[in-house]
Chains A and B, each alone.
Chain A
Amino acid sequence: METAALILDILSWALLLIGSAACVLAGIGLHRFPDVYSRTHASGVSDTLGVLAILTGLLLQAPSFGVGIKLLMVLGFLWISGPTATHALVQAAWIRGIEPVLGAGPDPFHRDEDGDNTEEVQ
């Protein structure tokens, strides 16, 4: 094998492995995170890094110009449609009234003990 082809092969191995790891980790994250909002962040890993690394890894092995362009177009479409679908999903969950599991940190809705965000007159 010539040197250039070998380097391309190694690069594409690396990218495909990164992408595979990202997708599997996203799958694990879907189980480890507590609610739909935080699971969205896990699926974001496969939607961005997984897609980018795997499709670039394939791009380095593209047999022709046309195949390379198609890979780039699939990449572009997935990168635009992914966040749009995610946003539609979490907005639907929020509108449906699903409350996220919140950690420590400021709550901008200022919820107090009785569960609303109104000021209590003393």
Chain B
Amino acid sequence: MKYEVTAIALVVALLLALMRAVRGPTTFDRILAVNAMGTIAVLLIAVSGFLTGRPDWLDLALIYALLNFIGTLAVLKFIRYRNLGLDGGLERRHQEEMFPWKPPR
């Protein structure tokens, strides 16, 4: 019973995050919402594993967590550079030249 209640609450949270992803308005709101959906989905997979009496699903939950993290970073990198191929040093120079912020006085 407790797993069913938790799963329903997680689905509600998932739908709320999905609505934010649809509403936007900026790309970053959408990515934030999708990242939050990923975290909730990991929890939902873990709870479903207990719900169906198959805790082996935790393996899937971990894989989903890894993919969610890598996916978020890849999308962020792509929308910043329109490119996934720049190496670290080049990126840092790119960033320092184009977007400096000065610490306030």
A–B contact with Cβ pairs below 8 Å: the answer is: yes
- Taking CB atoms, residues of chain A closer than 8 Å to B55 are 62-64, 67, 70
In the complex with contacts A20-B5, A30-B20, A85-B72, A36-B29 CB distance below 8 A: yes
A-B residue pair count with CB separations less than 8 angstroms? 153
Interface centre among A61, A74, A93 (most CB of B within 10 A): A74
Q: Are B46 and A26 in contact (CB under 8 A)?
A: no
Shortest CB-to-CB span from B102 to chain A, Å, is 8
- Taking CB atoms, residues of chain B closer than 8 Å to A61 are 50
Q: Are B39 and A12 in contact (CB under 8 A)?
A: no
In the complex with contacts A74-B62, A85-B69, A46-B13 CB distance below 8 A: yes
Of the candidates A63, A77, A88, the one whose C-beta lies within 8 Å of that of B66 is A77
- Taking CB atoms, residues of chain A closer than 8 Å to B72 are 85, 88-89
Residues 16-51 of B at the A interface (beta carbon under 8 Å): 16-17, 19-20, 23, 26, 28-29, 31-33, 35-36, 39-40, 42-43, 46-47, 50
Shortest CB-to-CB span from A97 to chain B, Å, is 8
**Hey, which bits of chain B sit against chain A, CB under 8 A?**
2-3, 5-6, 9-10, 12-17, 19-20, 23, 26, 28-29, 31-33, 35-36, 39-40, 42-43, 46-47, 50, 55, 58-59, 61-62, 65-66, 68-69, 72-73, 76, 79-80, 95, 99, 101, 104-105
A-B contact list, 13 entries, CB within 8 Å: A17-B2, A39-B32, A46-B39, A54-B47, A57-B2, A70-B59, A70-B62, A78-B39, A85-B69, A88-B72, A93-B28, A94-B101, A95-B99
